[in-house]
Chain A
Amino acid sequence: MSRIEKKFKEVLRRRGKAFIPYVMAGDPSLERTREMVAILEECGADIIELGVPFSDPLADGPTIQGAAQRALGEGVTLGKVLDLIGSLRQSTQIPIVLMTYYNLIFRYGEEKFVRDASLAGADGMIVPDLPPDEAGSLLSLSKDPGFDIIFLVAPTSTYERIKKVTRASRGFIYYVSITGITGSKLSVDPSIGSHIAKIKQMSGKPVAVGFGISTPHEASEIARIADGVIVGSAIVKRVSDSNENLKDYLIALRKAIR
């Protein structure tokens, strides 16, 4: 069982919901990211999504695009992010999921990536421009149950697509809350609850919801229907806030996600 699966099992056993914050590695510096990971864990994060900057993040809104630009300006690469995870593993065992775009992995080499990421202590990856249809080789490389490939389901997904994605996804299923890009304004379709319930029933896997969730109120609404809540852009916007303000916000989110 992977570290992500264990975490969900543990969270769901105590009838809780997983809090999954996102930060862009290297925004504005790798040192800050190291500090952010510690703060996130301290404030009750269950799993951390760590963005790896790509020049053309077409599933992301302006906030994460900006963060990626700053991180690239700092010279952050996939290799450096894996090194960071390796060194973080001396102080924390919190599950860490990489979120990036396929070209970085393709260029790094799929086989080398899966090996190096697992060795560094990364627990999985989310690649928004890699649907399961194109992930055949990566899926066969990462049979190691310690490294999960998490796929996304969208509000536009048909029954056939949901079946395909949920079958392929491991660790959890990432349900995209809105038809749109990250950081958009959240406007939840009333049918989302039944949609998610159906996905959970079909797959037997935990479902975490992300895209556009920014306030504790929104987080609590989503937490009522999902197994986990992912908050990205709203945290990225606060990366340069004082630690005190940041912690207040994160604790409010944590309290809302139950």
Chain B
Amino acid sequence: MTARKGAPAIKKLPDKRGYFGAYGGRFAPETLIPALDELEKAYYEFKKDKAFQQELSYLTKNYVGRPTPLYFAKRLTESIGGAKIYLKREDLAHTGAHKINNALGQALLAKKMGKKRLIAETGAGQHGVATATGAALCGLECEIYMGSDDIARQSLNVFRMKLLGAEVAEVSIGSRTLKDAINEAMRDWTTNVATTHYVLGTVFGPHPFPLIVRDFQSVIGKEARKQILEAEGKLPDYLIACIGGGSNAMGLFHFFIGDKGVSMIGVEAGGRGIVPGEHAARFAGGSIGILQGTKSFLLQDDDGNILSTHSVSAGLDYAAVGPEHAFLRDSGRVEYTYATDEEALSAFERLSRTEGIIPALESSHALAEAFKVASRLSKDKVVIVNLSGRGDKDVQHVAKIKGIEL
């Protein structure tokens, strides 16, 4: 099988107004529109700027530790007894998750734009840690918004952010999770837009965020494509990634979109089952709407108010999904499914025991689906799972679920 180049038609998205087909756009308060225009302009400028690209590429290699390995999980593959399972080891990137790819890129961009302060939202804490890291590296002030429920289940990451010199602002209104942390970050940005850059952590929000975050994350798929061709001499049969907002999935998928033989699956959080309030599977239980600056799939009631969500993993516990995913779903290019809390927890333990790798609970959702897919396939097939983050941050939370006191 020969490698195909990415399909240019899809790479051209979003359009000038930030739309991926019917999804995306810029539904933001007027106060922010000039800042979004400025960001878009700066992004396109620095994308072409050689010095900026060199600095980013130096740091990507020597600071983040890229390329991250593509690891053949031999014992896991044998225990499943089907397709070969490869893990894209984003857990080995500096700070322990893929989030650094975007946070570092945006921190550099903000510094070049003359901003003094970074703000960000965080769910699992990984994006908060990554942004605090980028801020420390670039010498910028940093404030991270985090829901009080997430602070409780991710206390380790809260302390890491503080160690890195960031302030952590507790958000105790509304859902007390990621969604309200984004609302608060947008309110802060609206107030301090002259000096502050908002490092949105996923392929969501008003244009140009879904584009910028995807581009900074697309290094994952770019590497994986090269690595799998070296390892197997062919492209994979499946790519599987978990989806909260969807940045690790877009990062893995983007460079394979044009490879028609490569199937792609995005795995949302099924929580305790597809009942309103008990899950975060937007494609299974949601509908089209507008939230936090973009048009996409949301979990909402009949009146358009946003429903509460649940997932064992803070990073997937969110009521909306990135607009490009909504587009890829409509186009049929990517299939979307979900894994429940229970399935994710079981995958979490299985990878730990068979491979000696403790995955993030978010990534465990992708693993749960990969086990199902691989077991149905013959041994000559190849599945790549994006191991988007490591599970150290989840250890306390999992112990608590299992009723173990540490």
* Residue B304 lies at the interface, judged by CB distance under 8 Å to chain A: yes
Is B303 an interface residue, CB under 8 A from the partner? yes
Q: Interface majority SS on A: helix, strand, loop or mixed?
A: loop
- Size band of the interface chain A makes with B: 35 or more
Interface residue B300 (Cβ < 8 Å from any Cβ of A): yes
- B353 neighbours in A (Cβ, 8 Å): none
Q: Say yes or no: B29 contacts A59, CB within 8 Å.
A: yes
A58 and B292 within 8 A (CB): yes
- Contact in complex: B289, A131 (CB < 8 Å): no
Q: Is B155 an interface residue when CB atoms closer than 8 A count as contact?
A: no
Interface flag for B291 (CB, 8 Å): yes
Residue of B174, B193, B289, B293 near A156 (CB, 8 A) is B193
Interface size on B, residues (CB 8 A): 37
Question: Which residues in B have their C-beta under 8 angstroms from that of A104?
Answer: 303-305
Contact B183–A56 (Cβ < 8 Å): yes
- Check A16 for interface membership: any CB of B closer than 8 A: no
The answer on a CB contact under 8 Å between A180 and B190 is yes
Given A104-B304, A129-B27, residue A161 in contact with residue B183 (CB < 8 A): no
B30 to A152, Cβ gap below 8 A?
yes
B164 CB-CB contact with A under 8 Å: no
B295 to A, closest residue via Cβ: A106
A157 and B183 CA atoms in complex are apart in Å by: 21
- B306 and A129 contacting across the interface, CB-CB below 8 Å: no
A130 and B27 in contact, given A56-B174, A103-B290, A179-B194 (Cβ under 8 angstroms): yes
Residue of A nearest to B25 (CB): A134
Complex CA–CA separation, A239 to B298 (angstroms):
33
How near does chain B come to A114, taking the closest CB pair, in angstroms? 16
In chain A, what residue has the closest Cβ to B307? A55
Complex Cα gap A131–B207 (Å): 13
Contact of B187 among A61, A78, A129, A176 (CB under 8 A): A61
* Residues in B lying within 8 Å of A, measured CB to CB: 17, 25-35, 37, 173-174, 179-180, 183, 186-187, 190-194, 289-293, 298, 300, 302-306
Interface residues of A (CB under 8 A from B): 53-59, 61-62, 65, 69, 72, 77-79, 101-108, 128-131, 133-134, 151-158, 161, 165, 176, 179-181, 184
